[in-house]
Amino acid sequence: MFAIGWICVQEAEYPDIADYPTSEPRDHVIALVRAAIARHLDATWPEFEQADLRHANGTWTLQINAHRNHRKSWPTALFSEIGELAAGSFGHLHLWDDEHPTEDERFMRWTMVHGVVTAEEDIALRPVVARWFDRVDDANETEAVASLPRECPACRHSLSETAHLDGRDPAGRPQTVVLWECPHCRGRFSAVVDLTDPASLSDAVPLPWTSELGWPG
């Protein structure tokens, strides 16, 4: 798993007229934040887990960085606790947990606004996970295959898709072998495409099937 995030630590949403409470956290609040860091952080692996609290230009910021082979709960626990200790705080925490029972193939984004924390999938990062798992979203894959040529190059009748086999080319790029059969002339054809590349789809041409591996049953 890994967790990368930041928090701008503020004690209040904004300073009031009497300057109390102030948005810049007071000393005792910073002491509580430091204690929370010490309590949550596993200091035995400093090269893999960091929680760095810094003060610069009148602002306190906490940076969280965790890269471990196994699931750790402290990044989200610390993130949430800072919101409780300093109610004006805001920030983001991105988390990928490959051992989570339901979120192992999703980037989760934890958001803190005025100390309140919410968590949801960051859908903008879905293509990254799709590449990691050599998978294209089923709906997109179906749509992509449907856009491929459907005319038999031998008799010009409509082809029927038989299967598509996912794999990688010699350079390691994802590729899919799409197989068709012509109900009219019984010809068998294939095309190698990248279902995530529109140019690959538009240039696809069904060619006679010549593989020695046999036709999928």
pLDDT recorded at residue 194: 73
What does the pLDDT read at residue 7?
A: 97
Residue 60, pLDDT score: 94
Per-residue pLDDT, 3: 93
What's the pLDDT score for residue 136? 46
- Provide the phi-psi class of 209: left if phi over 0, else alpha when psi is between -120 and 50, else beta: beta
Which residues in the chain show pLDDT less than 50?
Answer: 136-137, 212-213, 217
**pLDDT, tens digit, 9 for 90 and up, residues 186-207:** 888 777 777 666 666 666 777 7
